[in-house]
């Protein structure tokens, strides 16, 4: 089987991750425990996730000229992602400050850095979109760039997947170019006004609403509405579980799997990711996803 060709348009950040017994309240200082510096950003995470899930993946985005940028590129390269078109801009790379509590819940503050400079697609970047089976994008880069990429991909016949995170209202031009929208309940409410997938079908033809450990809810304009159960695991850190889900979903869909089956496989990817600490370091391999997908532990 030929590998699915995936292009990810998105952010690249250095994640500074601290574990603590509880998330701090406003004005509160909490004594933490384990600390790690881990390459992340939703774009980089989803590119690595898609690669480990079996895709041949290229990343379009921007890193800074600082030490974080050097480390980011080296780690993304080592994961097998094609970074030949990744831009380097003078100044700081994007940074995410992440706190993870004892239950695996987290808070995240992202400073964009070089990601904010990723504007106006080049000819080679447009060509990469046209050569792909599927494009994945998120919202940690300028929304104008996401829109431009989605419109270009749609025009070239490339399937478009938008993970609408972080939550915000979206321009109609972008939604018109999306084939599959992936959102959590907060993001669904920000776009469609409800924590359900059906209202979003007025804007896009297919929606996956992620439900954490409970799995996902798929709906489309053909009348399909299916709850796909999750996989029960002991959660260590949920930071990149959504990115693992989206990367695996895009690969499975590009491989020609029936969409509800692809969503189920993606649920296993998200669960496998949540068993480990960190973002890019926790993203599962195809073998790990297959094993968890076949095994016991599906939520009822």
What gap in Å lies between CA 145 and CA 139, rounded to an integer?
Answer: 9
Give the annotated binding-site residues for K(+).
237, 239, 273, 276, 278, 282
Question: Following DSSP, what letter does each residue of the chain receive, concatenated?
Answer: -PPPEEEEE---EEEEEEE-SSPPPTT-------EEEEEE-HHHHHHHHHHHTT-EEEEE-EEESSHHHHHHHHHHHHTT-B-TT-EEESSPPEEEEEEE-TTS-EEEEEE-GGGGG--S--HHHHHHHHH-SEEEE-SSS-HHHHHHHHHHHHHTT-EEEEE--S-----HHHHHT-SEEEE-HHHHHHHHSSSSSGGGGGT-SEEEEE-GGGEEEEEETTS-EEEEE-B----S--TTHHHHHHHHHHHHHHTT--HHHHHHHHHHHHHHHHTSSSSGGGPPPHHHHHHHHHSS-B--
Give the annotated binding-site residues for ATP.
184, 210-215, 242-243
Give the annotated binding-site residues.
13-15, 41-45, 140, 184, 210-215, 237, 239, 242-243, 273, 276, 278, 282
Give the annotated binding-site residues for substrate.
13-15, 41-45, 140, 243
Q: Is 176 annotated in the active site?
A: no
Q: Do 59 and 44 touch, CB atoms closer than 8 A?
A: yes
Q: Do 271 and 284 touch, CB atoms closer than 8 A?
A: no
Q: Which member of 82, 133, 179, 243 is catalytic?
A: 243
Backbone angles phi, psi at 203, to 5 degrees: -110, -30
Active centre residues (catalytic): 243
């Amino acid at each position: 089987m030929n590998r699915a060709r995936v292009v990810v348009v998105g952010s690249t950040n250095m994640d500074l991750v601290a574990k603590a017994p509880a998330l701090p309240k406003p004005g509160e200082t909490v004594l933490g425990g384990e600390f790690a510096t881990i390459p992340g950003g939703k774009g980089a995470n989803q590119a690595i996730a898609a690669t480990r899930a079996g895709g041949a993946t290229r990343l379009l985005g921007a890193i800074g000229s600082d030490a974080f940028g050097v480390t980011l590129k080296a780690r993304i390269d080592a994961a097998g992602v094609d970074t030949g078109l990744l831009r380097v801009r003078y100044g700081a790379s994007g940074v995410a400050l992440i706190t993870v509590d004892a239950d695996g819940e987290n808070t995240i503050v992202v400073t964009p850095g070089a990601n904010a400079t990723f504007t106006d697609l080049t000819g080679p970047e447009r060509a990469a979109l046209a050569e792909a089976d599927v494009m994945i994008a998120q919202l940690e880069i300028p929304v104008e760039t996401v829109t431009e990429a989605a419109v270009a991909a749609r025009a070239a016949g490339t399937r478009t997947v938008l993970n609408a995170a972080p939550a915000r209202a979206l321009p109609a031009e972008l939604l018109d170019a999306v084939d599959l929208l992936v959102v959590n309940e907060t993001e669904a409410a920000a776009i469609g006004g409800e924590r359900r997938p059906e209202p979003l079908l007025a804007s896009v033809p297919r929606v996956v609403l992620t439900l954490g450990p409970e799995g996902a809810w798929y709906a489309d304009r053909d009348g399909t509405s299916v709850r796909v159960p999750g996989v029960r695991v002991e959660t260590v850190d949920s930071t990149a579980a959504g990115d693992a889900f989206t990367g695996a979903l895009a690969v499975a869909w590009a491989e020609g799997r029936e969409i509800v089956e692809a969503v189920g496989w993606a649920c296993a990817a998200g669960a496998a990711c949540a068993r480990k600490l960190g973002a890019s370091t926790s993203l599962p391999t195809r073998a790990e996803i297959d094993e968890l997908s076949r095994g016991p532990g599906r939520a009822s």
